[in-house]
Structure 1
Amino acid sequence: MKDIKDRSRRLRFYRKIHGVLGGTLFFFFLIIAVTGLLLGWKKHSGGVLLAKSYKGVSADPKTWLPVDSLQKIAFNTLRDSVSAELSTELDRIDIRPQKGMVKFVFADHYAGIQLDCTTGQVLHIETRRSDFIEKLHDGSYLDALIKLDEQPFKLLYTSIMGIALILFSVTGFYLYYGPKRIRQEKLTRSAKLV
């Protein structure tokens, strides 16, 4: 009988941990779930979350303009067609050789410019919604907002949420399996008494 009482006490303890974690971190789990779902569907969103990658005139790099010329075109396009107030600091230059296209992705905002590598023609001006969603998903949004290079908030956020998810899984399994085991033990003991 003592064994059943110990298991019941452990079950109540796990239920308390599960409840406290769930209540405390509910909002963050909801953000991770919704943003994860959106990120999973971004390529199938019809250009709403992730812009289509357009195709340039030629996939032959010998015909392409130099990267610095393409960069000047991207910066001018950003100033003239999006906003003169936005920073031109680049996060990355994403060259798609098979498409003959280059994307300029900016560090301080979510605008993106796609250019034809051969002609320098603007193929698309995009709002990179998926980048924003990704920053919400992994917690780096606050680091970007406060301009923290080492990303301490992202590290803390992902550590807390990862450990919480592990604890949720363990306590959830025990909450599922524990009562079944206690019931089985009670049935076994009552059968022995008869």
Structure 2
Amino acid sequence: MTENNQRKQQAKLLRVFRKIHRTTGAFLFIFFFFVSVTGILLGWKKNSGGLLQSKSFQGTSVHLKDWLPIDSLHKNACKILLDSISKDATLELERIEIKKDKGMVKFIFAENFWGIQLDGATGQLLHIERRRSDFIEKVHDGSILDDYFKTGNGLIKLVYTTIMGLALLIFTITGFWLWYGPKRMKRK
């Protein structure tokens, strides 16, 4: 193959990579926008002064032997949610976080991102929080759509993260080639 033909082939390959890069970017622009903004917010959540993620409050005892049973703490958290937030609140739990070193337990409710922090030993309310970082995380990974459409199996999140991961891989490869290809052509 002559040098001129090689150069034409490399230029053609560069045009293909540029088109893939441009088309993928245009098609997924809004998704990249959400992923980047939510990613920045998640990176800053612990340094947001309580805006994105509430601090974990300190309970009275870090010794589990002093703590109330989890079912008692759960009943107390549900009562607080109903009394303080809404009489119609759904009591379905998303998860329970035990912070032994803080002497505290968090009950995170599935609906509307509410969290109740209780003293593990006394069951007293330490803090009621709106879990904004949980909402941001669900937007970031696409699982908010699974919640909205009630898929229950995480299919939308799986498809979304696969598309976004493959797009990032394509951007990395095509972006590298768009940077390296012209340098390679100049050298020859």
- Under TM normalisation by the shorter chain, which class is it? over 0.9
Matches within 5 A, 1:9-88: 9-88=12-91
Q: Residue 160 of structure 2 corresponds to which residue in structure 1?
A: 157
Q: Residue 151 of structure 2 corresponds to which residue in structure 1?
A: 148
Instruction: Find the partner of 1:118 among 117, 121, 139.
Output: 121
Matches within 5 A, 1:102-113: 102-113=105-116
Q: Give the CA deviation at 1:74.
A: 0.5
Q: Distance in 2 between matches of 1:93 and 1:183?
A: 60
Spell out structure 1 runs of 4+ moving beyond 4 A.
none
- Which SS does the other structure have where 2:51 is aligned? coil
Matched, 1:130 2:128: no
Q: Normalized against structure 2, the TM-score is what? A: 0.96
- Which SS does the other structure have where 1:98 is aligned? helix
Provide structure 1 residue ranges, at least 5 long, that are not aligned to the other structure.
186-194
Decide which structure has the larger Cα Rg and report it: 1
Q: Distance in 1 between matches of 2:8 and 2:96?
A: 63
For 1:48, the aligned partner's letter is L
Q: Distance in 2 between matches of 1:108 and 1:155?
A: 22
CA offsets 1:99-119 (integer angstroms, 9 cap, x no match): 110000112220000000111
Q: Give the CA deviation at 1:97.
A: 1.0
Q: Residue 188 of structure 1 corresponds to which residue in structure 2?
A: none
Q: Distance in 2 between matches of 1:48 and 1:101?
A: 20
Q: Distance in 2 between matches of 1:5 and 1:86?
A: 66
Calculate the aligned-residue CA RMSD, in Å.
0.9
CA offsets 1:161-187 (integer angstroms, 9 cap, x no match): 1111101111101111111222222xx
For 2:8, the aligned partner's letter is K
- Which SS does the other structure have where 1:126 is aligned? strand
Q: Normalized against structure 1, the TM-score is what? A: 0.93
Provide structure 2 residue ranges, at least 5 long, that are not aligned to the other structure.
none
For 1:9, the aligned partner's letter is K
Q: Give the CA deviation at 1:86.
A: 1.5
- Which SS does the other structure have where 2:116 is aligned? strand
Q: Distance in 1 between matches of 2:182 and 2:126?
A: 61
